[in-house]
């Protein structure tokens, strides 16, 4: 089935369009908006974005595969990124990864059986002063210990808003909500 943006999300795109000198510049923002709706970037999404911006699907696919934040396969309702780079590792990031693997019963790169969480490793998330840290959807949790993880995961399980739109997007609807 062909992919279509909801009118509410399309409005965000229309609002961004006149701000850039070229249509192609919208590739990354539009992919973010689409990913917020679809959960991941499927071939249908790539075709939709290419058509919307008058590009070839190869151009769009090239962008999708280049950037880490674009998910190329379906992910869980929540995405957990564990920072594995130096400062966090010095402070015990490997214990956090191990604890998460145990608590979620899945390995890094996999989704839990109930589809609630996808566990991924991230490169430096610019929170080195608060290592070890994780990013859960669009939120940072710093200065972690394995004991603190339970409460964070439970809270995420209970949060039911948004369905697959939980895949965070820096320019989508969730980003526009008051905070």
Partner 1 sequence: MPVENPRLLTKNYDTPNSWTLAAYEASGGYQALRKAIAMGPAAIREEVKAANLRGRGGAGFAAGVKWSFLKTSPDKPNYIAVNADEGEPGTIKDRTLMEKDPHRCVEGFIIAAYALDVHTVFVYIRGELVLAIKRIEQAVREARAKGYLGDKVIDQDFKLDIVVHAGAGAYICGEETSLLNSLEGLRGEPRLKPPFPAVVGAFGAPTIVNNLETLATVPTIIELGGDAFSKLSRLHHLRDGGVRLYGISGHVNRPGVYEAPVGITLRELIDDLGGGVRKGHTLKAVIPGGSSTPVLREQDVVHAPDEKHPLHAWHGKSHLDVPMGVDTMRGLGTMLGTCCAIVMDETTSMVRVAENLMMFYAHESCGQCTPCREGCAWMARLCQQVRRRHGHAGRPRHARRRRQQHHGQHHLRARRRRGDAHAGDPEAVS
Q: Which residues bind partner 1 (CB under 8 A)?
A: 19-22, 24-29, 31-32, 53, 62-63, 66-70, 81, 84-87, 89-91, 122-131, 135, 138-140, 168, 170-171, 175, 179
Shortest reach from residue 133's CB to partner 1, in Å? 11
Using the minimum distance from each CB to partner 1, give the nearer residue, 143 or 150.
143
Using the minimum distance from each CB to partner 1, give the nearer residue, 129 or 163.
129
Shortest reach from residue 55's CB to partner 1, in Å? 8
* Range 56-90 burial, b when 16+ CB lie within 10 A, else e: eeebbbebbeeeebbbeeebbbbbbbbbbeebbbe
Using the minimum distance from each CB to partner 1, give the nearer residue, 51 or 113.
51
Shortest reach from residue 37's CB to partner 1, in Å? 16
Shortest reach from residue 64's CB to partner 1, in Å? 9
Give the span between the Cα atoms of 120 and 146, in whole angstroms: 16
Shortest reach from residue 1's CB to partner 1, in Å? 25
Please give the full DSSP string across 23-83, using - where no structure is assigned. Answer: SGGGHHHHHHHHHHHHSS--HHHHHHHHHHTT--HHHHHHHHHH-TTS-SS---SEEEEEE
Using the minimum distance from each CB to partner 1, give the nearer residue, 158 or 179.
179
* Range 134-145 burial, b when 16+ CB lie within 10 A, else e: bbbbeeebbebe
Shortest reach from residue 90's CB to partner 1, in Å? 5
Give the span between the Cα atoms of 112 and 110, in whole angstroms: 7
Pairing of strands 139-141, 134-136: antiparallel
The number of angstroms, rounded, from the C-alpha of 119 to the middle of its chain's C-alpha atoms is 11
Token duo for residue 37: 């709706």
Using the minimum distance from each CB to partner 1, give the nearer residue, 115 or 129.
129
Using the minimum distance from each CB to partner 1, give the nearer residue, 7 or 21.
21
């Amino acid at each position: 089935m062909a992919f279509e943006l909801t009118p509410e999300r399309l409005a965000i795109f229309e609002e961004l369009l006149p701000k850039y000198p070229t249509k192609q510049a919208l590739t990354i923002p539009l992919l973010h908006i689409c990913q917020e709706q679809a959960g991941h970037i499927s071939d249908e999404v790539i075709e939709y974005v290419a058509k919307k911006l008058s590009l070839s699907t190869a151009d769009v696919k090239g962008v999708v595969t280049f950037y880490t934040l674009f998910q190329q396969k379906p992910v869980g309702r929540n995405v957990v990124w564990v920072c594995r780079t130096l400062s966090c590792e010095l402070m015990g990031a490997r214990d956090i990864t191990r604890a998460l693997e145990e608590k979620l019963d899945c390995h890094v790169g996999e989704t839990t059986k109930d589809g609630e969480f996808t566990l991924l490793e991230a490169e430096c998330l610019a929170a080195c002063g608060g290592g070890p840290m994780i990013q859960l959807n669009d939120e940072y949790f710093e200065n972690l210990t394995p004991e603190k993880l339970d409460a964070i995961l439970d809270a995420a399980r209970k949060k039911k808003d948004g369905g697959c739109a939980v895949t965070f997007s820096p320019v989508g609807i969730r980003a526009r909500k008051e905070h």
